[in-house]
Amino acid sequence: MMHNKWDLGEAVRVTRNVRNDGTYPGEETGALLIRRGSVGNVVDVGTFLQDQIIYSVHFLDAGRIVGCREEELLGADEPWVPSAYEFRQKVRAAKTLASKGETLVEVGAIGEILKVVRDAPGGVVYHVHFDSLPGRPVMVSEAALTSLLPQQACRDD
């Protein structure tokens, strides 16, 4: 039996950008609906495929109610650490990445964010899969990455 973490009326923060998957009317598929870090209130709790809890969250500032999975949410009072990049975002290595004297990734190599680790000592780090290093994700600091396109990097508020 599944138990929801948040109840109706509770304030929550979304941990990654919410884009239209084709189910939000009036917006193009892929359009940004809610920016990561935004706070809203739970207005309904349901399930999807009987194994995922889905929260309908009203983001008053955006004037939208969107469905969020439990793992995409934090309590509004929980610590929030902004990040420049997010899950599945394409990035480029800003410097050569090496381990134990072995070059793993050259400057300019293209990768994809697999995971954002916000509670790492020293700041945000990312698990990144680089095309040039198949099957071997690398943990990379924010300073060692740059956007694939200049307008993509956007630190949260």
The pTM score is 0.65
The pLDDT tens digits along the chain (157 residues) read 668 888 899 999 998 888 888 888 888 998 889 988 899 999 998 877 777 888 999 999 889 999 988 888 999 998 888 888 887 889 999 999 998 999 999 999 999 999 888 888 888 899 999 998 888 999 999 899 998 865 444 444 3
Domain assignment of residue 66, yes or no:
yes
Domain end among 75, 109, 125: 75
17 and 62 fall within a common domain: yes
Domain assignment of residue 107, yes or no:
yes
CATH of the domain at 34: 2.30.30
- Is 76 exposed, middle or buried, given 0-12, 13-18 or 19+ CB atoms closer than 10 A? middle
118 and 148 fall within a common domain: yes
Domain assignment of residue 62, yes or no:
yes
Domain assignment of residue 130, yes or no:
yes
Q: Where are the beta strands (DSSP E) in the chain?
A: 11-14, 18-19, 32-34, 39-48, 52-59, 64-69, 73-75, 90-93, 97-99, 102-105, 110-117, 125-130, 138-141, 145-147
CB atoms < 10 A from the CB of 38, how many? 22
113 and 137 fall within a common domain: yes
Domain assignment of residue 104, yes or no:
yes
Q: From CA 117, how far away is CA 126, in angstroms rounded? A: 6
Domain end among 27, 49, 75: 75
pLDDT of the residue at 46: 84
Domain count of the fold of the chain: 2
95 and 71 fall within a common domain: no
pLDDT of the residue at 53: 87
Domain assignment of residue 5, yes or no:
no
Domain end among 52, 75, 98: 75
Domain assignment of residue 3, yes or no:
no
pLDDT of the residue at 41: 97
Using DSSP, state whether 16 is helix, strand or coil. Answer: coil
Q: Which one-letter DSSP state was computed for residue 72?
A: G
pLDDT of the residue at 151: 46
Domain assignment of residue 1, yes or no:
no
- Measured CA to CA in angstroms, residue 75 lies from 24, 42, 146 at distances of 24, 11, 30
Q: Tell me which residue range forms the domain holding 39.
A: 11-75
- Measured CA to CA in angstroms, residue 121 lies from 6, 75, 78, 117 at distances of 28, 22, 18, 10
